[in-house]
Structure 1
Amino acid sequence: MPSFSGNEVTNEQIDELRDAFERYDLDSNGTLSAHEVRLALISVGYEITEAELYDLIHSVALYDLIHSVAVRDEDRLDLKKFIRMMAPRMVHVDSDQSLLRTFNMIDRDRDGYVTVQDVRAIMVVLGEVVTDDDIKDICQAVDMDGDGRISLRDFIGFMHSPI
């Protein structure tokens, strides 16, 4: 198993982190902004405050400074830094359990389904400015069985699907 700073992570967890990184590299520039890192963290089951987020990101920049690695933009993470930041947190994470926690966080009325309103609410919480069409597109993409609502099965299937 790959090892990062003494923490063992599985190849599956590395793949999960790589998928999260690629999915949330919204501008496709090979790095994640703080906002994109937060979205990626949420996707792998981590609720995090803005202060905690910046502490995590800056810990990676500090590691680079200590180890004489050039730091160009300390508020952006490339894939290697993202994996290094997340590896210690992934050691004991069961991805489906993390997805269940994330799903439950989004499913505001706890009825077992995520609706357009739930997606709109989580986007507001995340500070995302999205149109009704964007929300509709997101819901259609995640609604794997096409029944007009997102079940836990749809959500997990979407999150495990290749990009």
Structure 2
Amino acid sequence: MAEASEYAATFDLVDTDGDGLISVDELHALMGNLGDDCTRERAAAVVRSMDTDGDGRISLEEFTAYMDRQ
């Protein structure tokens, strides 16, 4: 598994409120800013697929684990 620090800069770009977690709204906004017409429901599904502790948000550790699987 990669160290979380390898993905921290990318994570921080998405975590716009700086709380250390990526929310559905943050992911949805990012996708819109990138020109993807991702629905909020699709963004929620992506968050659920990465959210291993069930809190509804993506931590840096969850993000790192997901990126390592890709």
TM-score computed with the length of structure 1 as normaliser = 0.39
Distance 2:29 2:3 in 1: 24
Count of paired positions: 69
Q: How does 1:1-163 map to 2 (within 5 A)?
A: 96-161=4-69, 163=70
Computed over aligned residues only, the root mean square deviation of the Cα atoms, in angstroms, reads: 1.7
Q: What fraction of aligned residue pairs are identical, expressed as a percent?
A: 33
- How far apart, in 1, do the equivalents of 2:35 and 2:8 lie? 22
CA distance in 2, matches of 1:134, 1:149: 14
Secondary structure at 1:119 match in 2 = helix
C-alpha distance in 1, partners of 2:4/2:61?
Answer: 10
Greater length-normalized contact order (CA 8 Å, ≥ 6 residues apart): 2
Instruction: Return 5+ residue gaps in structure 2 as ranges.
Output: none
| TM-score normalised by structure 2 residue count | 0.85
Q: 1:95: how far off? A: 6.7
